[in-house]
Amino acid sequence: MSPGTQEPPITPDAATPVPTPAVPTPPARIWSPLWELVLARLREFFREPAAIFWTYGFPTVLALALGVAFSGGTDPKAIPIAVLDGPRQAARVEVLQQDPALGVVAVSEDEARRRFQGARIVLAVGGDDEARFLFDPTNPEADATRRRVDDLLQRAAGRKDAVATRTDLVQAPGSRYIDFLIPGLIGMNVMSSSMWGIGYALVEARKRKLLKRLAATPMKRSHFVGSFLIARMVFLVTEVAAILAFAVPVFDVQFQGSILAAALLSIAGAMAFAGLGLVAASRTTSTETVSGLMNIIMLPMFVLSGVFFSASHFPDWMQTFIRPLPLTLLNDGLRAVINEGAGLGDVALPLLALTGGALLTLTVGLRWFRWT
Amino acid sequence: MPLAIEVHNLVHKYGEVTAVNGIDLEVSEGECFGLLGPNGAGKTTTVEILEGLLEPTSGVVRVLGQTWNGDANALRQRLGIALQETTLADRLTVREIVILFRSFHDHGVDPDEVLATVALTDKKDDWVMKLSGGQKQRLAIACALVGDPDLLFLDEPTTGLDPQARRDLWEVVGNVVRRGKTCLLTTHYMEEAERLCHRVAIVDKGKVIALGTPAELIGRVGGSQVLEFGSVPEMTAEALEGLPGVREVRQVLDRWRLTVDAAHEAVPALLDRLQRSGANLTALSTHQASLDDVFVVLTGRTLRGDA
């Protein structure tokens, strides 16, 4: 027997009902359910350090690493070439070293061949009176380097140029790798944060029975969905701002086109990916399953949709599949605006396609959605 | 008194499994009604149908005079619900959560007042993840109360809590019940039902097997207290049956088990009888007859599920 049974029951007998005290007058303060739901979403996110890192820190670190690794513009590395052992080695080294674009080493032919294998040299010059070039024809840099070295050797031997020439360097804005990369990173971040932010959060809430508890309240379903979408807008603005606030001063990335067009593209993209997240989460009860589902959706786009390299590298027959992918639409649209100065009219097509995708996925996701 | 809940011939099947198999219930306004039964008896399924979260396979359900086919949101405005083991958001504070739930209701109670009712005022600025199990349950009850509901559903409010946390929660629920709030509570702790509920339906395998006030149900085992003793030499049944207030006499091994109306009358009489027979007492204990005894009598099993 339980020890507590000896204590007097705290409930009055049903036969003698206790008079109900006057109900306290409801306070005048009214709370807006939509606003409280949005606040709850924002608070939960900003109180989670891991989420903050993956949303704001990770893209910035990635931009920094890739930007530094591929920043060809400011300080190009010297092209590594070898001058082979022989009677003319010293003289040729002296001539070629005067060109700062070349990094010259003097080695034996065996050593040079070893260095070709590791791609540590692009070209080797040997031979006696007749200069002999060794290079890999599949390396596009090699033939250009051969001509450059050939020119230097010919001039050093007394060749006179028939025409005087002058070079003006043109550095087109938006043409560097980092310029290509930043819109791709924005697109990637919009995709992953929208999908995780909606899909994972919903399944987690379902797993905890929070969805069921909310379904049992008079909360309007539209307020609940609306709070996710509004919170997503807030995150979107701060995410894009974080990447640009880093890329503009550090890498001098210039925003060429319409800010409105970029904003609308990002919003339409975020809503399309939020819709995909909603579809993935609509009936899933385990966070492992929804993570797998979302990775299946996102992984092909990470590879195909031109985040780190242009989607145009893929063969023509694949383009049919790649072009309509939402991340391809978003990345290409953002690149057109940020790098090529496109306006709203120029990106109308991807903008409409993303908006249509958002409407479709959100509708399907809501129709399939289960609260329990 | 008007009915807060009316259920007729309720059936719910999950595929082949029949979780609720023809339940009838009537709960009056102002009443705290308990559904008592072991795990898997169909209590939670019944409550979730009443809460409008599940569609019944068949049967009639009326909550506060309405069916769930009508204006469901208007009905939800008047209900307060604490589900079994809900983890509300980890990184919101207690007060933020209560305000969130308050915002869903057109009318309600001030969040700070509700936090005082459930004794969480000290914890109002703590994140939910820092709360103990008992505090989380009291928060769940605060969320159920903040809309000032006409009907409160508490599904296993103390499951998984330690004894002290359970007592604290009974205190909170007892206060709410005393104020006349209509309440439907499910539990598999007989002590909880005895303390909090005006009437109890004992549920087993999807059916109501007994219904009444705790006192009525306990009365069915005969007597309200059980007196157990051993003596040398042993007494005979005839010598014990004539004692005042003894309802039933049963020998269990070397002990006698008397079901009595009042221990304070039966014990002195028993001691007197023993003395006159020249017998010495070797053991004596009493316990109050409980709903657990009722369940054992009705099903041959205990509420904890052991045979």
Is residue A72 pLDDT above 60, yes or no?
no
Helix residue ranges, H only, A89-174: 89-97, 109-117, 140-156
Q: Examine the domain organization and report whether B16 and B102 are in the same domain.
A: yes
Q: Examine the domain organization and report whether B209 and B82 are in the same domain.
A: yes
**Percent of chain B whose predicted confidence (pLDDT) is above 70:** 94
Is residue B220 pLDDT above 80, yes or no?
no
Identify the residue whose tokens are 């949101």. Answer: B73
B297 lies in a domain? no
Q: Examine the domain organization and report whether B99 and B140 are in the same domain.
A: yes
pLDDT of residue B51: 94
Is residue A276 pLDDT above 80, yes or no?
yes
pLDDT of residue B61: 95
Is B191 close to A17, i.e. CB distance below 8 A?
no
B57 lies in a domain? yes
Query: Can you give the pTM of this predicted structure?
Result: 0.77
Using a CB-CB cut-off of 8 Å, the residues of chain A touching B30 are 17, 20
CATH number of the domain at B247, please: 3.30.70.980
Q: How many domains does chain B have?
A: 2
Q: How confident is the model at residue A171 (pLDDT cuts 50, 70, 90)?
A: low
Q: Examine the domain organization and report whether B200 and B184 are in the same domain.
A: yes
Rounded to two decimals, the ipTM of the complex is 0.80
CA B127 to each of CA A31, A362, B96, B103, B112: distance values in angstroms, whole numbers, following the listed order: 21, 32, 9, 19, 16
| DSSP state for residue A22 in the 8-state scheme | P
Q: Examine the domain organization and report whether B226 and B210 are in the same domain.
A: no
B303 lies in a domain? no
φ/ψ of residue A271, rounded to 5: -70, -35
Q: Examine the domain organization and report whether B66 and B119 are in the same domain.
A: yes
Gap between the Cα atoms of A198 and A233, Å rounded: 12
Is A11 close to B143, i.e. CB distance below 8 A?
no
A2: closest CA of chain B, how far (Å): 7
User: Within an 8 Å CB–CB cutoff, is residue B34 touching chain A?
Assistant: no
Q: Examine the domain organization and report whether B209 and B233 are in the same domain.
A: no
Listed range (A149-158, A176-185, A224-233, B221-230) with the worst mean pLDDT: B221-230
The interface residues of chain B toward chain A in range 255-274, judged by CB-CB distance below 8 A, are: none
Is residue A18 pLDDT above 50, yes or no?
no
Range of the domain at B195: 3-214
User: In this structure, are residues A104 and A81 in contact, taking their beta carbons and an 8 Å threshold?
Assistant: yes
Q: What is the mean pLDDT of residues B275-300?
A: 79
User: Within 13 Å of residue B254, how many CA atoms lie on the same side as its CB?
Assistant: 9
Q: How confident is the model at residue B307 (pLDDT cuts 50, 70, 90)?
A: very low
3-state secondary structure of A309: coil
Q: How confident is the model at residue A8 (pLDDT cuts 50, 70, 90)?
A: very low
Is residue B179 left, alpha or beta, with left meaning phi > 0 and alpha meaning psi from -120 to 50?
A: alpha
B33 strand-pairing partners: B184, B199
B194 lies in a domain? yes
Q: Which two tokens stand for residue B306?
A: 């052991």
User: In this structure, are residues B104 and A213 in contact, taking their beta carbons and an 8 Å threshold?
Assistant: no
User: In this structure, are residues A174 and A256 in contact, taking their beta carbons and an 8 Å threshold?
Assistant: yes
Is A18 close to B288, i.e. CB distance below 8 A?
no
Gap between the Cα atoms of B209 and B213, Å rounded: 14
Q: Examine the domain organization and report whether B137 and B252 are in the same domain.
A: no
B299 lies in a domain? no
CATH number of the domain at B188, please: 3.40.50.300
Domain C-terminal end among B155, B187, B214 = B214
B92 lies in a domain? yes
Domain C-terminal end among B214, B245, B277 = B214
Q: Which domains, ranges and CATH numbers included, belong to chain A?
A: 33-42+50-70+176-368 (no CATH), 79-156 (3.40.120)
For the stretch B93-144, pLDDT in tens is: 999 999 999 999 999 999 999 999 999 999 999 999 999 989 999 999 999 9
pLDDT of residue A170: 65
Q: What is the mean pLDDT of residues B229-255?
A: 79
Q: How confident is the model at residue A13 (pLDDT cuts 50, 70, 90)?
A: very low
Q: What is the mean pLDDT of residues B15-28?
A: 93
Q: Examine the domain organization and report whether B131 and B232 are in the same domain.
A: no
A1: closest CA of chain B, how far (Å): 7
For the stretch A104-139, pLDDT in tens is: 999 999 999 888 887 889 999 998 888 899 998 888
Is A208 close to B87, i.e. CB distance below 8 A?
yes
3-state secondary structure of A84: strand
Q: Examine the domain organization and report whether B96 and B167 are in the same domain.
A: yes
Q: Which two tokens stand for residue A136?
A: 């890999």
pLDDT of residue A163: 87
Of the candidates A17, A33, A44, the beta carbon closest to that of B104 is on: A33
User: In this structure, are residues A92 and A101 in contact, taking their beta carbons and an 8 Å threshold?
Assistant: no
Q: Which two tokens stand for residue A276?
A: 């995909």
For the stretch B178-209, pLDDT in tens is: 888 999 999 988 888 888 999 999 999 999 99
Using a CB-CB cut-off of 8 Å, the residues of chain B touching A9 are 194-195, 214
Domain C-terminal end among B214, B238, B264 = B214
**Highest-confidence segment of A44-53, A357-366, B185-194:** A357-366
B306 lies in a domain? no
Identify the residue whose tokens are 């809940």. Answer: B5
User: Within an 8 Å CB–CB cutoff, is residue B6 touching chain A?
Assistant: no
Using a CB-CB cut-off of 8 Å, the residues of chain B touching A371 are 53
pLDDT of residue B300: 63
B162 lies in a domain? yes
Q: Examine the domain organization and report whether B193 and B112 are in the same domain.
A: yes
Kindly tell me the burial class for residue A137, based on how many C-beta atoms sit within 10 Å of its own C-beta (0-12, 13-18, 19 or more): exposed
* DSSP secondary structure string for all residues of chain B: --EEEEEEEEEEEETTEEEEEEEEEEEETT-EEEEE--TTSSHHHHHHHHTTSS--SEEEEEETTB-TTS-HHHHHTTEEEE-TT----TTSBHHHHHHHHHHT-SS---HHHHHHHTT-GGGTTSBGGGS-HHHHHHHHHHHHHTT--SEEEEESTTTT--HHHHHHHHHHHHHHHHTT-EEEEEES-HHHHHHH-SEEEEEETTEEEEEE-HHHHHHTTSSSEEEEEEEESPPPHHHHHTSTTEEEEEEETTEEEEEES-HHHHHHHHHHHHHHHTPEEEEEEEEE--HHHHHHHHHSS-TTS--
pLDDT of residue A266: 96
Q: What is the mean pLDDT of residues A278-305?
A: 94
Q: Examine the domain organization and report whether B252 and B279 are in the same domain.
A: yes
Is residue B304 pLDDT above 70, yes or no?
no
